[in-house]
Structure formats: structure tokens, C-alpha cells
Amino acid sequence: MNTDAIESMVRDVLSRMNSLQ
């Protein structure tokens, strides 16, 4: 798994957490 895929996953999780707040 490359770092670009990991970064996009992290951004997705962070945006989900932000929308829950």
C-alpha cells in the first residue's frame, strides 16, 4: 500500500469524524 492511498484514507476518516461533531 502506498502513502497516497493511506493519506486519502486518513483524510476520509478525519472528514467523517468532523461531520459527526
In the chain the first and final C-alpha atoms are separated, in Å, by: 30
User: Among the residues of the chain, which ranges form H helices?
Assistant: 3-20
pTM: 0.46
What pLDDT score does 3 carry? Answer: 97
DSSP H or E segment with residue 21: none
What pLDDT score does 21 carry? Answer: 79
Quote the percentage of the chain above a pLDDT of 90: 86
Low-confidence residues of the chain, pLDDT below 50? none
